[in-house]
Amino acid sequence: MPSLLPPRCRAGAVSRWVGTGLGLLISATIACSKPASDAAPPAAPATDTASPAPPTETISSAPRIVFLGDSLTAGLGVAASEAYPAVVGERLKQEGRDFEIVNAGVSGDTSAGGLRRLDWSLQGNVRVLVIALGANDGLRGLPVDELRRNLAAIIERAQQRGIHVVLAGMEAPPNFGDIYTRRFREVYADLARTYRVSFIPFFLADVAGHPALNQADGIHPTSEGQRLIADRMLKIITPLLDESATR
């Protein structure tokens, strides 16, 4: 799925900012869906894009930072060098920190898709794993318990290898009802507490809802929006790199 929204929904998405602070990711979904009750939505069929084949190149021993996500991480609509993982890598390089950056973002991926490709995404000397998954789970109304299980499995497998984890929270669209929206949000906070991982409550904070920071679809950040996300990531990642260097 190249975009988080079908083409027919994009035109009205940009103008329907509802002022909730969750950004156009939420309002765009309202524009494309009928209101629902507070009951959790029925399980939707899994429609993940096929996970790409694992890379075949030789993996170096250099320390790595892996960003596991969807189109928001892949940098849909901007140059590869402008996606936030690349910006993080460039900033670290300017600071004299030599880390390989692995952008493991796949457009349309859900938490289940991220889990399926986790093992080969974590090849090499991975020091930090950033998990930025769940936006597509929420947009499709997939079961919250599945989101929790998938993210928990990713965190556990990373921690078993001694990898620092950064969990980036996502928001579900409110058209699925208050209960679903609240339970979806709580998954991230609960997992962050349970596994004691670094936590960003909302991945698109200060970016979603600002037209100048988002592309025409109202969902995917512009290069400037990507830089703001990178700024937030660096504040979380840098202390973890200092800690890993002492091991």
Both tokens of 26, joined, read 């939420």
The verdict on whether 71 is a catalytic residue reads yes
The verdict on whether 164 is a catalytic residue reads no
- Give the three-class secondary structure for 67: strand
- Give the three-class secondary structure for 158: helix
Query: Active-site residue among 71, 107, 111, 121?
Result: 71
Whole-angstrom Cα distance, residue 218 to residue 16?
10
Whole-angstrom Cα distance, residue 129 to residue 82?
20
Whole-angstrom Cα distance, residue 179 to residue 228?
30
Both tokens of 14, joined, read 């940009």
Tally Cβ neighbours within 10 Å of residue 104.
23
The verdict on whether 210 is a catalytic residue reads no
Nearest one of 207, 202, 200, 147 to 170, comparing CA atoms: 202
Q: Could you list the active site residues?
A: 71, 217, 220
